[in-house]
Amino acid sequence: MTTLSDAVASSYGDLSPQEQRVADLIRARPDEIALYSSAELARLSGVSKATVSRLYRRLGFSGSREVRDLLRAQRGGGVPVDLAPGRGVDDRLAGQYRSDVENLTRFYESLDAGVITDVAARLAVAKRVLVVGHRSGFPVALHLRQQLAQVRDGVRLAPEPGQSVGEELEGLESGDVVVLLGFQRRPAGFLRLLDTVAASPATGVLVTDPSGRRYDGVLSATIEVPTRSPSAFDSYAVAGSLVSVLAGAVLAAVGEGGAARVSAIDRRYTELGELEVR
């Protein structure tokens, strides 16, 4: 998808001085352009509305409506675009709160609890667990690995800093479980990664957002979490909630062995003085 900034950058040298004034404003305040009509942008730039219209045509757009639609489409595709830059922090917090509650409600109303139960049971008895996350999926994967490591051993994270993921996929066996976290703006080759896991003897589980529906059915199970947000950035509140629920279900499935491991790790923290004194 061609962005507005790309279009401006590629054409800037061919623009008239008046058109460059508008282009300079677009480059300086790209998040706000979705809010302005051609007349408003002309007023802010100190040029005529005809100049703005002419600039948009030079950039390949029919007008301000198409530009606003493009920016909203970019935001829907994961590009950080602030569509309401004038809001204060209080308004942003209120909007984020409402959005996250809606996402959580939508998630828990649509999710088949049997899927979580089945995935947790597989994770509880797996020989090894490999948690894979790239880009936005990496911090969620890191959190999931940290929680599962409290419950059972043999839980690895990929890719480790400075490493690729190929070596981690080699040697997967029947009884292993691979959990892949892939949210929108996934790295190139993500489907090849899924296909590699699907072709291995291991069980594959995909955690993704609605943009990942195209991959539904590639692995043994898919869990979809909404990430929609009024902010310029997606929200991973539901993903964090899923980690908590899933790890708790694994702890329950492991039973006494999991509780014993949690206690042993807690004692080790105390021996090493790794945590603040409660």
- Tens digits of per-residue pLDDT, 110-155? 888 899 999 999 999 999 999 999 988 999 999 999 999 999 999 9
Residue at 82 is within a domain: no
Q: Is 87 part of any domain?
A: no
Question: Cβ-count burial of 145 within 10 angstroms (0-12 exposed, 13-18 middle, 19+ buried)?
Answer: buried
**pLDDT, position 35:** 61
Q: For residue range 56-73, what is the model confidence (pLDDT) as tens digits? A: 888 888 777 777 777 666
One domain for residues 171 and 66? no
CATH number at residue 50: 1.10.10.10
Domain that holds residue 124: 94-272
So what's the pLDDT on residue 165?
85
pLDDT reading at 76 higher than 70: no
What is the domain count for the chain?
2
Whether residue 113 is found in the same domain as residue 216:
yes
Mean pLDDT along residues 5-18: 84
pLDDT at 178: 97
pLDDT at 62: 76
Q: How far apart are CA 53 and CA 63, in angstroms?
A: 6
Q: Is residue 167 part of a domain?
A: yes
Q: Is residue 250 part of a domain?
A: yes
Q: Find the mean pLDDT for residues 48-55.
A: 89
More reliable by pLDDT, 270 or 253: 253
Asked if residue 117 belongs to a domain, the reply is yes
**186-240 pLDDT tens trace:** 888 899 999 999 999 999 999 998 888 889 889 999 999 988 877 778 888 999 9
Quick one: 244 and 162 in the same domain? yes
Q: Are residues 109 and 247 in the same domain?
A: yes
Tell me whether residue 24 is in a domain: yes
Q: What letter represents residue 15's amino acid? A: L
Task: Report how far residue 204's alpha carbon sits from residue 222's, in angstroms, rounded to the nearest whole number.
Answer: 9
Same domain, 52 and 98: no
Inter-residue contact 152 to 246 (CB < 8 Å): no
Does 139 reside within a domain? Answer: yes
Is 15 found in the same domain as 115?
no
CB-based burial, 12-39: b 16+ in 10 Å, e otherwise: eeebeebbbbbbebbeeebebbbbbebe
Whole-number pLDDT of residue 69: 72
Q: Residue 27: name the closest of 37, 47, 41, 16 by CA.
A: 41
Quick one: tokens of 255?
A: 């039973």
| Average pLDDT rounded to a whole number, residues 258-276 | 86
Asked whether residue 101 falls in the same domain as residue 62, the answer is no
For residues 222 and 249, membership in a common domain is answered with yes
| CATH code, domain carrying 161 | 3.40.50.10490
Q: Which of 25, 48, 76 is the last residue of a domain?
A: 76
Residue 171 has pLDDT above 60, yes or no: yes
Q: What is the pLDDT of residue 33?
A: 66
What confidence tier does 85 reach under pLDDT thresholds 50, 70, 90?
Answer: low
Whether 53 is in a domain gets the answer yes
Mean pLDDT over the full length of the chain: 85
**Of the candidates 32, 50, 76, which is a domain's last residue?**
76
Q: How far apart are the first and last CA of the chain?
A: 52
